[in-house]
Structure 1
Amino acid sequence: MDREGTQTSLELELPSRNHASDIEDHRRHHGHSLDSQRFDDDGRPRRTGTLWTASAHIITAVIGSGVLSLAWCMAQLGWIAGPAVLIVFPLITLYTSALLADCYRSLDPVNGRRNYNYMAAVKASLGGLQAWFCGFTQYINLYGTAIRYTITASISMAAIKRSDCFHSKGKNYPCHPSNNPFMILFGIVQVILSQIPDFDQLRWLSILAAVMSFSYSLIGLGLGIGEVAKGNFHGTLTGVTVGTITGAQKVWQTFQALGDVAFACSYSTILIEIQDTLKSPPAENKTMKKATVLGVSVTTVFYTLSGCFGYAAFGNSAPGNLLTGFENNPFWLVDFANACLAVHLLGAYQVFVQPLFAFIEEWCSHKWPRSQFIHKNYNINIPGYGLYKTNLFSLVWRTGFVISTTLISMLLPFNNVVGILGAVGFWPLTVYFPVEMYIVQKKIRRFTTKWMLLQTLSVVSFLVSLAAAAGSIEGIIKDLKSYKPFRITY
């Protein structure tokens, strides 16, 4: 290999991971201006994100596999509470996201100092102790989301194989493919995708994932509308009734439904990281608020229509995964929807884990500033792609991360365990921190009307988190009764 060439060489270099900070320090101390065409006001390479890329990230994050469980959620809540919940929780997310968007820059949302992640924003407003609580909750949730997406994607891929088996061998044939091979396949692809250097370079994957999410959501919605058009309109005012299930089961399942809807609407764990990709002018908080309105409005329409038509089609017997209920429809269409879901989760996985990758790599670079394993970069020229920069630490750590999420997904029935993480994370990440930072930034005095209203929102969200956690714990207890490691089948 020619180490001097430019087209086929593998070049070694040892740049500082704090290159942006070095540029900014140089500018402050020596009075030299930065090239505004190449660098932003903080010395980092100029951001290129737009309203549309931010909206794609939001849609990819929000319209997840949770949309397919909304008919089941409606079945637990009924025609009165169900639609109300599907509208109220997105409104809460919309409001608190606007508060959080103003916290990207400290003190002044237009000209203040940038906070590159959620933890930094909390530290700037509320101090180090709360920042560590935020970071612990956020990154545990991101890890749990990666596990959930691995499980869900494998279920979708196994559903395709199961459907094809039934189609070729008949519905009475015992078609029960294991999820494990599909988890391994999903993990292999994620190892490759995880080498994407940073969040800002995910736009193509995020846009693809957003298109896929629209595709399977529209198919599920269309099939539901088709069932209703045949005259199959079902459901009751209060959902599943006591008698068909016990009173305790009604309570637990209602709690689970509330939690599922709340978590399905939230994306606060990565909002600051999305905002850090946006170019300015206009001010990042203005673009982010517009992207939030656009993204949340689109997802709310999809959620409400999918939940309501799915419930109307199946009533109180609505399945946990809407696509599994349409066995009498063209199998290829349902297979295509499941394939779109799997592809969407490939992108959604990366949207959620890239902030965790960045945090660990930044922390390690500060912890061991002289380690060549962490800092030495390899520039590799890839035909058709161009120059790709990586280092051994990123390669090993990101690969190890994907392997760990894959193994845990195969080992345990983790969906309900991850549900607990989501329940614990919903209140602090979606409501508490945005509210408290807003109070500090706007200097809202205690016991004023606005302060009381904000605290009421926080308390109600806290109670929802507790209820959802209780429902998930009950689900874990039920799962453990039939639990067998590495024996997950569709």
Structure 2
Amino acid sequence: MYLSGGTCVTLIMIGGGTMKIFFQIICGSTCNVNPLTTMEWYVVFTCCAAVLAQLPNLNSIAGVSLIGAVTAISYCSLIWVISLSKTRPMGVSYDPVHANSDGEKLISILNALGIIAFAFRGHNLVLEIQGTMPCSGKSPSRVPMWKGVKFAYVIIAMCLFPIAIGGYWAYGNMIPSGGMLNALYKYHGHDISKLLLGLASLLVVLNSLSSFQIYAMPVFDNLELRYTSKKNKPCPWWLRSGSRAAFGCLAFFIAVALPFLPSLAGLIGGIALPITLAYPCFMWLVIKKPRRYSGNWYLNWALGVLGMILSILVVTGAIWDIATMGLEIHFFKPQ
């Protein structure tokens, strides 16, 4: 619930902000239409997401998931190919950022690990997706799920490694806070056709809309499970639609109220880190019940404890980084 809700808030910020950029690219400087504010674009994105959110379950959004995957691969490839094909900006530097002390350097590394963990936030959906698969003693669902996870992360690596390596080569330390898409607008907006810039923005918007449904589905399932468990009957369509629209409104409110939330990516990723590095080990111990003090018992306890320690260190690093570097806080003022 925590990861899904936080991700949906971030997607509203990304999708709504990119909608604004897409309109500016298509409309151009000669357009006489009064542009919408950032908050109004958030409303447009949330309304579109709320309509798509009426699909009942994860199985029904397989097509939406496919669109999300195709658009992600497309815009990642488009961005790094364009960045590599254009001339690098003047003054690009690859010198490492110098820390004032070894402690500050360690804190920065831990905060970066939290941001990386937040980037791979899809891990909280693995068990949700596996739960939709047919399972029997002869054909356990973990077999196709493991194949799917391996294939999915190969695709993710094919998207993220080229854009990270190519982006660093193209922009070095000059990458703006908004990431590679903002770097594309900032440094190559004058020498790239509107068609390519608009296409990149449109792909990001479509990916954000598709991702919203996927990440929000565990929240929807949890809310409906509470109703069916308490009432012992299926959730009516009007309640399901209303609860999903209400969740969209809540995510929109948080996105508007806390526009500085992306600056807390390291902290959010650190808090979520045990879902990947610790909880599975403890779950395996509870479910499989290996012989006490056996090799597997020691291994899973060691990995689980190590995952919790790493999570605490990453959270500490993120908090320390915020305390030392500062955080620009502006409530209800999305940029």
TM bin, normalised by shorter chain, reads: 0.7 to 0.9
- 1:168 to 2:20 alignment: no
- 1:404 to 2:250 alignment: yes
User: Deviations for 1:404-449, whole angstroms, at most 9, x for unmatched residues?
Assistant: 110110111322456534321221x112221122234444344444
Alignment match, 2:270: 423
Counterparts of residues 100-139 of structure 1 (less than 5 Å): 139=1
1:323 touches 1:334 (CA, 8 Å); kept in 2? Answer: no
Q: How far did 1:228 drift?
A: 7.9
- 1:263 to 2:109 alignment: no
Q: How far did 1:203 drift?
A: 0.7
1:431 touches 1:461 (CA, 8 Å); kept in 2? Answer: yes
Distance in 2, matches of 1:159 and 1:276, equals: 38
Question: Tell me, which stretches of 5 or more residues in structure 1 are unaligned?
Answer: 1-138, 170-175, 378-390
- 1:160/1:410 CA distance change after superposition, 3 Å: same
- 1:453/1:418 CA distance change after superposition, 3 Å: same
Q: How far did 1:217 drift?
A: 0.6
- 1:224 to 2:83 alignment: yes
2:15 touches 2:205 (CA, 8 Å); kept in 1? Answer: yes
Q: How far did 1:250 drift?
A: 4.6
Range moving further from structure 2, 286-295 or 432-441: 432-441
- 1:164/1:247 CA distance change after superposition, 3 Å: farther
- 1:435 to 2:288 alignment: no
- 1:400/1:456 CA distance change after superposition, 3 Å: same
Distance in 2, matches of 1:194 and 1:402, equals: 9
Distance in 2, matches of 1:423 and 1:336, equals: 33
Alignment match, 1:81: none
Q: TM-score, length-normalised on structure 2?
A: 0.83
Distance in 1, matches of 2:319 and 2:156, equals: 28
- 1:439/1:290 CA distance change after superposition, 3 Å: same
Alignment match, 1:111: none
- 1:289/1:368 CA distance change after superposition, 3 Å: same
User: Deviations for 1:199-244, whole angstroms, at most 9, x for unmatched residues?
Assistant: 11001111111111011110122123325899998634xx32237x
Q: Which amino acid in structure 1 is aligned with residue 225 of structure 2?
A: E
- 1:149 to 2:11 alignment: yes
Distance in 1, matches of 2:165 and 2:109, equals: 16
1:221 touches 1:306 (CA, 8 Å); kept in 2? Answer: yes
Q: Residue 224 of structure 2: SS of its match in structure 1?
A: helix
Alignment match, 2:59: 200
Q: How far did 1:459 drift?
A: 3.6
- Considering only CA atoms, is the larger Rg found in Structure 1 or Structure 2? 1
Distance in 1, matches of 2:107 and 2:38, equals: 27
2:111 touches 2:267 (CA, 8 Å); kept in 1? Answer: no
Distance in 2, matches of 1:291 and 1:481, equals: 39
Structure with bigger helix share is: 2
Distance in 2, matches of 1:297 and 1:339, equals: 24
User: Deviations for 1:22-81, whole angstroms, at most 9, x for unmatched residues?
Assistant: xxxxxxxxxxxxxxxxxxxxxxxxxxxxxxxxxxxxxxxxxxxxxxxxxxxxxxxxxxxx
User: Deviations for 1:371-414, whole angstroms, at most 9, x for unmatched residues?
Assistant: xxx74x4xxxxxxxxxxxxx221121111111011011011132
Q: How far did 1:247 drift?
A: 7.0
Question: Tell me, which stretches of 5 or more residues in structure 2 are unaligned?
Answer: none
Q: Which amino acid in structure 2 is aligned with residue 140 of structure 1?
A: Y
User: Deviations for 1:82-127, whole angstroms, at most 9, x for unmatched residues?
Assistant: xxxxxxxxxxxxxxxxxxxxxxxxxxxxxxxxxxxxxxxxxxxxxx
Distance in 1, matches of 2:322 and 2:45, equals: 25
Q: Residue 168 of structure 1: SS of its match in structure 2?
A: coil
Q: How far did 1:478 drift?
A: 8.2
Identical residues among aligned pairs (%) = 21
Alignment match, 2:219: 356
2:3 touches 2:121 (CA, 8 Å); kept in 1? Answer: no
Q: Which amino acid in structure 2 is aligned with residue 334 of structure 1?
A: L
Alignment match, 1:31: none
Count of residues paired in the alignment: 323
Distance in 2, matches of 1:156 and 1:478, equals: 31
Q: How far did 1:462 drift?
A: 2.6
Q: Which amino acid in structure 2 is aligned with residue 255 of structure 1?
A: L
Q: How far did 1:334 drift?
A: 2.8
1:419 touches 1:472 (CA, 8 Å); kept in 2? Answer: yes
Q: Which amino acid in structure 1 is aligned with residue 128 of structure 2?
A: E
- 1:266/1:483 CA distance change after superposition, 3 Å: closer
Distance in 2, matches of 1:364 and 1:217, equals: 40
Alignment match, 1:300: 157
- 1:215/1:425 CA distance change after superposition, 3 Å: same
Q: Which amino acid in structure 2 is aligned with residue 209 of structure 1?
A: G
Distance in 2, matches of 1:311 and 1:162, equals: 27
Q: Residue 267 of structure 1: SS of its match in structure 2?
A: helix
1:212 touches 1:344 (CA, 8 Å); kept in 2? Answer: yes
- 1:286/1:481 CA distance change after superposition, 3 Å: closer
Q: Which amino acid in structure 2 is aligned with residue 146 of structure 1?
A: C
Distance in 2, matches of 1:247 and 1:163, equals: 44
Q: Which amino acid in structure 2 is aligned with residue 425 of structure 1?
A: A
Distance in 2, matches of 1:229 and 1:282, equals: 53
Distance in 2, matches of 1:230 and 1:481, equals: 28
Distance in 2, matches of 1:485 and 1:231, equals: 36
Distance in 2, matches of 1:362 and 1:355, equals: 10
Distance in 1, matches of 2:325 and 2:17, equals: 17
Q: How far did 1:467 drift?
A: 3.6
